[in-house]
Protein backbone atom coordinates (compact mmCIF):
# COMPACT_ATOMS: atom_id res chain seq x y z
CA UNK A 1 0.00 0.00 0.00
CA UNK A 2 1.29 3.47 -0.89
CA UNK A 3 2.14 5.67 2.13
CA UNK A 4 -0.51 8.52 1.81
CA UNK A 5 -3.33 5.97 1.33
CA UNK A 6 -2.21 3.99 4.38
CA UNK A 7 -2.09 7.19 6.44
CA UNK A 8 -5.59 8.20 5.34
CA UNK A 9 -6.91 4.75 6.23
CA UNK A 10 -5.33 4.93 9.68
CA UNK A 11 -6.85 8.38 10.27
CA UNK A 12 -10.32 7.20 9.21
CA UNK A 13 -10.11 4.16 11.53
CA UNK A 14 -9.04 6.30 14.51
CA UNK A 15 -11.93 8.72 13.91
CA UNK A 16 -14.43 5.88 13.64
CA UNK A 17 -13.33 4.26 16.88
CA UNK A 18 -13.44 7.63 18.71
CA UNK A 19 -17.04 8.16 17.56
CA UNK A 20 -17.99 4.70 18.77
CA UNK A 21 -16.66 5.34 22.29
CA UNK A 22 -18.24 8.77 22.64
CA UNK A 23 -21.67 7.91 21.32
CA UNK A 24 -22.25 4.18 21.30
CA UNK A 25 -25.29 3.75 19.05
CA UNK A 26 -27.92 1.03 19.31
CA UNK A 27 -26.16 -1.03 16.70
CA UNK A 28 -22.66 -0.52 18.04
CA UNK A 29 -21.00 -3.84 18.81
CA UNK A 30 -19.15 -2.21 21.72
CA UNK A 31 -22.11 -1.06 23.76
CA UNK A 32 -25.88 -1.39 23.52
CA UNK A 33 -28.05 1.49 24.65
CA UNK A 34 -29.09 0.85 28.20
CA UNK A 35 -32.28 2.33 29.67
CA UNK A 36 -33.16 2.31 33.35
CA UNK A 37 -36.92 1.97 34.08
CA UNK A 38 -37.67 2.86 37.69
CA UNK A 39 -41.27 1.99 38.56
CA UNK A 40 -43.27 2.81 41.67
CA UNK A 41 -45.33 -0.34 41.72
CA UNK A 42 -46.69 -3.24 39.72
CA UNK A 43 -49.78 -3.49 41.91
CA UNK A 44 -52.43 -2.16 39.52
CA UNK A 45 -53.07 -4.24 36.43
CA UNK A 46 -51.86 -1.53 34.06
CA UNK A 47 -48.26 -1.31 35.25
CA UNK A 48 -47.31 -4.81 34.11
CA UNK A 49 -48.59 -3.88 30.68
CA UNK A 50 -46.54 -0.66 30.77
CA UNK A 51 -43.44 -2.63 31.69
CA UNK A 52 -43.89 -5.36 29.08
CA UNK A 53 -44.72 -3.01 26.21
CA UNK A 54 -41.90 -0.63 27.10
CA UNK A 55 -39.34 -3.43 27.21
CA UNK A 56 -40.62 -4.97 23.98
CA UNK A 57 -40.31 -1.71 22.03
CA UNK A 58 -36.93 -0.81 23.54
CA UNK A 59 -35.59 -4.26 22.62
CA UNK A 60 -36.91 -3.94 19.08
CA UNK A 61 -34.83 -0.78 18.84
CA UNK A 62 -31.77 -2.63 20.04
CA UNK A 63 -31.74 -1.27 23.61
CA UNK A 64 -31.38 -3.12 26.87
CA UNK A 65 -33.68 -2.23 29.80
CA UNK A 66 -32.90 -2.46 33.52
CA UNK A 67 -36.12 -2.53 35.53
CA UNK A 68 -36.84 -2.03 39.19
CA UNK A 69 -40.18 -1.63 40.96
CA UNK A 70 -40.25 -0.16 44.45
CA UNK A 71 -43.57 -1.40 45.88
CA UNK A 72 -44.57 2.11 46.88
CA UNK A 73 -41.44 2.78 48.95
CA UNK A 74 -39.79 6.17 48.29
CA UNK A 75 -36.42 5.27 49.83
CA UNK A 76 -36.30 2.03 47.91
CA UNK A 77 -37.18 3.75 44.63
CA UNK A 78 -34.44 6.34 45.24
CA UNK A 79 -31.80 3.71 45.94
CA UNK A 80 -32.90 1.54 43.02
CA UNK A 81 -32.61 4.49 40.63
CA UNK A 82 -29.21 5.48 42.04
CA UNK A 83 -28.08 1.92 41.65
CA UNK A 84 -29.06 1.92 37.99
CA UNK A 85 -27.08 5.12 37.49
CA UNK A 86 -24.04 3.46 39.08
CA UNK A 87 -24.42 0.44 36.81
CA UNK A 88 -24.32 2.73 33.79
CA UNK A 89 -27.41 3.73 31.83
CA UNK A 90 -27.96 6.18 28.98
CA UNK A 91 -31.47 7.34 29.92
CA UNK A 92 -33.53 7.01 33.11
CA UNK A 93 -37.30 6.59 32.84
CA UNK A 94 -39.18 7.08 36.11
CA UNK A 95 -42.75 6.40 37.26
CA UNK A 96 -42.42 8.18 40.61
CA UNK A 97 -44.25 6.89 43.65
CA UNK A 98 -43.94 10.35 45.11
CA UNK A 99 -43.91 13.36 42.79
CA UNK A 100 -41.39 15.24 44.94
CA UNK A 101 -39.26 12.51 46.48
CA UNK A 102 -37.63 11.55 43.17
CA UNK A 103 -36.34 15.07 42.43
CA UNK A 104 -32.79 14.42 43.81
CA UNK A 105 -32.35 11.50 41.39
CA UNK A 106 -32.94 13.83 38.46
CA UNK A 107 -30.01 15.96 39.63
CA UNK A 108 -27.82 12.89 40.11
CA UNK A 109 -28.75 11.59 36.66
CA UNK A 110 -27.80 14.89 35.06
CA UNK A 111 -24.48 14.88 36.91
CA UNK A 112 -23.85 11.52 35.26
CA UNK A 113 -24.89 12.89 31.85
CA UNK A 114 -28.12 10.84 31.87
CA UNK A 115 -31.40 12.34 30.68
CA UNK A 116 -34.62 11.70 32.61
CA UNK A 117 -38.13 10.96 31.35
CA UNK A 118 -41.06 11.18 33.79
CA UNK A 119 -43.37 8.35 32.72
CA UNK A 120 -47.13 8.70 33.27
CA UNK A 121 -46.58 10.70 36.49
CA UNK A 122 -44.78 14.03 36.61
CA UNK A 123 -41.79 14.59 38.91
CA UNK A 124 -42.14 17.98 40.60
CA UNK A 125 -39.48 20.58 41.39
CA UNK A 126 -36.85 18.93 39.22
CA UNK A 127 -35.21 19.58 35.86
CA UNK A 128 -37.01 16.73 34.09
CA UNK A 129 -36.11 16.37 30.40
CA UNK A 130 -39.47 15.07 29.22
CA UNK A 131 -42.87 14.10 30.57
CA UNK A 132 -44.78 11.40 28.66
CA UNK A 133 -48.30 10.68 29.81
CA UNK A 134 -52.02 10.80 29.19
CA UNK A 135 -53.91 14.00 29.76
CA UNK A 136 -55.03 13.28 33.33
CA UNK A 137 -57.01 16.49 33.68
CA UNK A 138 -59.01 15.41 30.64
CA UNK A 139 -59.67 12.04 32.33
CA UNK A 140 -61.33 13.92 35.21
CA UNK A 141 -63.34 16.07 32.82
CA UNK A 142 -64.60 13.02 30.94
CA UNK A 143 -65.67 11.33 34.17
CA UNK A 144 -67.54 14.38 35.45
CA UNK A 145 -69.22 15.10 32.09
CA UNK A 146 -70.48 11.54 31.83
CA UNK A 147 -71.71 11.51 35.41
CA UNK A 148 -73.51 14.84 35.04
CA UNK A 149 -75.42 13.47 32.07
CA UNK A 150 -76.61 10.59 34.25
CA UNK A 151 -77.07 12.52 37.48
CA UNK A 152 -77.59 16.27 36.88
CA UNK A 153 -78.62 16.90 40.49
CA UNK A 154 -77.80 15.18 43.75
CA UNK A 155 -75.16 14.11 46.25
CA UNK A 156 -71.75 13.28 44.79
CA UNK A 157 -68.77 11.50 46.35
CA UNK A 158 -65.29 12.11 44.98
CA UNK A 159 -62.70 9.43 45.79
CA UNK A 160 -59.33 10.91 44.89
CA UNK A 161 -56.06 9.06 44.30
CA UNK A 162 -52.84 9.18 46.31
CA UNK A 163 -51.98 12.72 47.44
CA UNK A 164 -48.31 11.98 46.67
CA UNK A 165 -49.12 11.39 42.98
CA UNK A 166 -49.35 14.49 40.78
CA UNK A 167 -51.92 12.72 38.61
CA UNK A 168 -54.33 12.66 41.54
CA UNK A 169 -54.26 16.48 41.62
CA UNK A 170 -54.72 16.70 37.86
CA UNK A 171 -57.64 14.27 37.89
CA UNK A 172 -59.37 16.19 40.66
CA UNK A 173 -58.75 19.49 38.86
CA UNK A 174 -60.45 18.09 35.75
CA UNK A 175 -63.43 16.79 37.73
CA UNK A 176 -63.86 20.06 39.61
CA UNK A 177 -63.56 22.18 36.47
CA UNK A 178 -66.73 20.47 35.21
CA UNK A 179 -68.60 20.07 38.52
CA UNK A 180 -67.92 23.47 40.08
CA UNK A 181 -70.60 25.49 38.21
CA UNK A 182 -73.16 22.83 39.18
CA UNK A 183 -71.98 22.90 42.80
CA UNK A 184 -72.21 26.71 42.80
CA UNK A 185 -75.73 26.52 41.42
CA UNK A 186 -76.67 24.16 44.25
CA UNK A 187 -77.54 21.27 41.90
CA UNK A 188 -74.66 19.12 43.08
CA UNK A 189 -73.58 18.62 46.69
CA UNK A 190 -70.12 17.18 47.14
CA UNK A 191 -70.71 15.22 50.33
CA UNK A 192 -67.28 13.61 50.43
CA UNK A 193 -64.09 14.74 48.69
CA UNK A 194 -60.93 13.00 49.89
CA UNK A 195 -57.64 11.75 48.53
CA UNK A 196 -56.97 8.02 48.95
CA UNK A 197 -53.48 7.32 50.35
CA UNK A 198 -51.52 4.82 48.24
CA UNK A 199 -54.51 4.39 45.90
CA UNK A 200 -55.69 1.67 48.27
CA UNK A 201 -59.06 0.12 47.34
CA UNK A 202 -59.77 -0.63 51.02
CA UNK A 203 -59.26 3.03 51.92
CA UNK A 204 -61.62 4.01 49.10
CA UNK A 205 -64.18 1.52 50.43
CA UNK A 206 -63.84 3.08 53.89
CA UNK A 207 -64.44 6.56 52.46
CA UNK A 208 -67.56 5.30 50.69
CA UNK A 209 -68.88 3.63 53.83
CA UNK A 210 -68.37 6.87 55.81
CA UNK A 211 -70.17 8.89 53.15
CA UNK A 212 -73.12 6.48 53.24
CA UNK A 213 -73.33 6.75 57.02
CA UNK A 214 -73.05 10.53 56.95
CA UNK A 215 -75.87 10.92 54.41
CA UNK A 216 -77.99 7.97 55.60
CA UNK A 217 -77.43 6.28 52.27
CA UNK A 218 -78.35 9.32 50.18
CA UNK A 219 -75.57 9.19 47.60
CA UNK A 220 -76.43 9.64 43.91
CA UNK A 221 -73.06 9.39 42.15
CA UNK A 222 -69.44 8.40 42.86
CA UNK A 223 -66.39 9.46 40.84
CA UNK A 224 -63.18 7.56 41.62
CA UNK A 225 -59.66 8.46 40.55
CA UNK A 226 -59.00 4.94 39.21
CA UNK A 227 -60.58 1.53 38.77
CA UNK A 228 -58.75 0.11 41.79
CA UNK A 229 -60.44 2.61 44.10
CA UNK A 230 -63.72 2.14 42.19
CA UNK A 231 -63.42 -1.57 43.05
CA UNK A 232 -63.14 -0.69 46.76
CA UNK A 233 -66.18 1.58 46.49
CA UNK A 234 -68.26 -1.12 44.76
CA UNK A 235 -67.33 -3.58 47.54
CA UNK A 236 -68.60 -1.08 50.13
CA UNK A 237 -71.78 -0.60 48.09
CA UNK A 238 -72.31 -4.37 48.03
CA UNK A 239 -72.06 -4.43 51.80
CA UNK A 240 -74.83 -1.83 51.96
CA UNK A 241 -76.97 -3.58 49.36
CA UNK A 242 -76.44 -0.68 46.94
CA UNK A 243 -74.09 -2.06 44.27
CA UNK A 244 -75.48 -1.32 40.80
CA UNK A 245 -77.91 1.25 42.23
CA UNK A 246 -75.47 4.14 42.51
CA UNK A 247 -73.42 4.98 39.39
CA UNK A 248 -69.65 4.71 39.87
CA UNK A 249 -66.93 5.99 37.50
CA UNK A 250 -63.22 5.07 37.42
CA UNK A 251 -60.26 5.04 35.01
CA UNK A 252 -57.74 2.56 33.54
CA UNK A 253 -60.13 0.08 31.86
CA UNK A 254 -58.89 -2.66 34.21
CA UNK A 255 -60.42 -6.02 33.32
CA UNK A 256 -62.31 -6.09 36.64
CA UNK A 257 -63.75 -2.64 35.88
CA UNK A 258 -64.81 -3.57 32.35
CA UNK A 259 -66.57 -6.59 33.85
CA UNK A 260 -68.30 -4.25 36.28
CA UNK A 261 -69.52 -2.26 33.26
CA UNK A 262 -71.17 -5.49 32.15
CA UNK A 263 -72.83 -6.26 35.48
CA UNK A 264 -73.79 -2.59 35.95
CA UNK A 265 -71.93 -1.98 39.23
CA UNK A 266 -69.73 0.58 37.44
CA UNK A 267 -70.98 2.83 34.63
CA UNK A 268 -67.80 4.36 33.23
CA UNK A 269 -64.10 3.76 33.01
CA UNK A 270 -61.55 5.78 31.07
CA UNK A 271 -59.28 3.84 28.76
CA UNK A 272 -55.68 4.90 28.31
CA UNK A 273 -54.09 2.97 25.42
CA UNK A 274 -50.91 2.00 27.27
CA UNK A 275 -49.27 0.68 24.11
CA UNK A 276 -49.05 4.23 22.70
CA UNK A 277 -47.53 5.54 25.92
CA UNK A 278 -44.98 2.76 26.39
CA UNK A 279 -43.98 2.84 22.72
CA UNK A 280 -43.57 6.61 22.69
CA UNK A 281 -41.50 6.52 25.89
CA UNK A 282 -39.22 3.73 24.64
CA UNK A 283 -38.70 5.41 21.26
CA UNK A 284 -37.95 8.75 22.88
CA UNK A 285 -35.54 7.18 25.36
CA UNK A 286 -33.60 5.62 22.48
CA UNK A 287 -33.69 8.90 20.54
CA UNK A 288 -32.33 10.75 23.60
CA UNK A 289 -29.57 8.20 24.05
CA UNK A 290 -28.45 8.65 20.46
CA UNK A 291 -28.80 12.44 20.51
CA UNK A 292 -31.68 12.39 18.01
CA UNK A 293 -34.65 14.76 17.88
CA UNK A 294 -37.98 13.76 19.45
CA UNK A 295 -41.43 15.29 19.31
CA UNK A 296 -43.38 16.98 22.12
CA UNK A 297 -46.94 18.33 21.91
CA UNK A 298 -47.31 20.16 25.23
CA UNK A 299 -45.42 22.05 27.89
CA UNK A 300 -46.17 21.69 31.60
CA UNK A 301 -44.84 23.55 34.61
CA UNK A 302 -43.52 21.26 37.34
CA UNK A 303 -42.53 23.94 39.85
CA UNK A 304 -38.92 23.93 38.65
CA UNK A 305 -39.80 25.31 35.24
CA UNK A 306 -41.25 24.37 31.90
CA UNK A 307 -41.02 20.73 30.93
CA UNK A 308 -41.59 19.48 27.38
CA UNK A 309 -44.38 16.94 27.38
CA UNK A 310 -46.06 14.43 25.15
CA UNK A 311 -49.64 13.93 26.29
CA UNK A 312 -51.99 11.33 24.82
CA UNK A 313 -55.79 11.58 24.79
CA UNK A 314 -57.82 9.30 27.09
CA UNK A 315 -60.97 7.53 25.86
CA UNK A 316 -64.20 7.14 27.88
CA UNK A 317 -65.64 3.62 27.93
CA UNK A 318 -69.14 2.51 28.88
CA UNK A 319 -70.92 -0.80 28.43
CA UNK A 320 -72.17 0.44 25.07
CA UNK A 321 -68.77 1.55 23.76
CA UNK A 322 -66.49 -1.21 25.04
CA UNK A 323 -66.57 -3.11 21.74
CA UNK A 324 -65.39 -0.17 19.66
CA UNK A 325 -62.70 0.77 22.19
CA UNK A 326 -60.99 -1.73 24.50
CA UNK A 327 -62.10 -4.86 22.62
CA UNK A 328 -61.33 -3.45 19.16
CA UNK A 329 -57.86 -2.45 20.37
CA UNK A 330 -57.21 -5.92 21.79
CA UNK A 331 -56.72 -4.33 25.24
CA UNK A 332 -59.11 -7.00 26.53
CA UNK A 333 -60.44 -10.09 24.85
CA UNK A 334 -64.19 -10.41 24.59
CA UNK A 335 -63.96 -13.90 26.12
CA UNK A 336 -62.13 -12.51 29.18
CA UNK A 337 -64.80 -9.89 29.71
CA UNK A 338 -67.90 -11.96 29.15
CA UNK A 339 -66.73 -15.48 29.82
CA UNK A 340 -68.00 -18.17 27.48
CA UNK A 341 -71.54 -16.74 27.09
CA UNK A 342 -72.13 -13.25 25.64
CA UNK A 343 -75.09 -11.14 26.71
CA UNK A 344 -77.10 -9.96 23.67
CA UNK A 345 -78.48 -6.75 25.08
CA UNK A 346 -77.45 -4.41 27.85
CA UNK A 347 -79.58 -5.03 30.90
CA UNK A 348 -81.63 -2.24 32.47
CA UNK A 349 -79.58 0.49 33.96
CA UNK A 350 -76.91 0.68 31.22
Q: Closest CB to ligand BGC among 161 and 232?
A: 161
| Beta strands 315-317 and 269-271, pairing class | antiparallel
State how far the Cα of 206 lies from the Cα of 214, in Å rounded to an integer.
12
Min dist CB 199 to ligand BGC, Å, is 4
Q: Answer whether 35's CB lies under 8 Å from 25's CB.
A: no
Q: Closest CB to ligand BGC among 167 and 207?
A: 167
Min dist CB 74 to ligand BGC, Å, is 15
The one segment of 9-17, 161-169, 232-240, 260-268 that binds ligand BGC by CB under 6 A: 161-169
State how far the Cα of 192 lies from the Cα of 180, in Å rounded to an integer.
14
- Interactions with ligand BGC, residue window 296-335 (CB under 6 A): none
* Residue 46 within binding range of ligand BGC, rule CB under 6 A: yes
* Residue 269 within binding range of ligand BGC, rule CB under 6 A: no
Of 20, 25, 44, 202, the residue at the interface with ligand BGC (CB under 6 A) is: 44
* Residue 283 within binding range of ligand BGC, rule CB under 6 A: no
Spell out the alpha helix ranges (H) of the chain.
Answer: 3-22, 45-60, 74-87, 103-111, 136-150, 166-184, 201-214, 227-239, 255-263, 274-289, 334-338
Give the residue from 1, 85, 73 showing the smallest Cα distance to 37: 85
* Residue 73 within binding range of ligand BGC, rule CB under 6 A: no
Min dist CB 136 to ligand BGC, Å, is 6
- Give, to the nearest 10 degrees, the angle between helix 227-239 and helix 201-214: 50
x/- map, 136-155, ligand BGC, by CB under 6 A? --------------------
Q: Closest CB to ligand BGC among 34 and 51?
A: 51
Of 167, 266, 302, 325, the residue at the interface with ligand BGC (CB under 6 A) is: 167
* Residue 164 within binding range of ligand BGC, rule CB under 6 A: no
State how far the Cα of 25 lies from the Cα of 299, in Å rounded to an integer.
29
Q: What share of the chain is helix, strand, coil (3-state, %, to 5)?
A: 45, 20, 35
Q: How many residues belong to the site for ligand BGC (CB under 6 A)?
A: 11
* Residue 165 within binding range of ligand BGC, rule CB under 6 A: yes
Min dist CB 120 to ligand BGC, Å, is 5
- Interactions with ligand BGC, residue window 98-137 (CB under 6 A): 120-121
- Greatest pairwise CA separation for the chain in angstroms: 97
Of 38, 192, 226, 269, the residue at the interface with ligand BGC (CB under 6 A) is: 226
Q: Answer whether 171's CB lies under 8 Å from 224's CB.
A: no
Q: Answer whether 41's CB lies under 8 Å from 96's CB.
A: no
Min dist CB 165 to ligand BGC, Å, is 5
Dihedral (Cα; 171, 177, 179, 181), 10-degree rounding: 170
- Contacting residues toward ligand BGC, per CB under 6 A: 44, 46, 120-121, 161, 165, 167, 199, 226, 228, 252
Amino acid sequence: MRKPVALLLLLAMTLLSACATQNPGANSPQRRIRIGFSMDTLAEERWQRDRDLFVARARELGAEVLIQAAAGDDDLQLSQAENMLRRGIDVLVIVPHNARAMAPVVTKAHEAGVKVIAYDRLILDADVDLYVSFDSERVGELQAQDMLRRVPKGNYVYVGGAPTDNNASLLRAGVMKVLQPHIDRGDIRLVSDQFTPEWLPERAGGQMAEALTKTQGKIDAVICANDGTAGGVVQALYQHGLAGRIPVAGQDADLAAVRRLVDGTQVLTVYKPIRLLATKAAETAVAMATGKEYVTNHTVNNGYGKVGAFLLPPVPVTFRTMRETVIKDGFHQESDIFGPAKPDQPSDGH
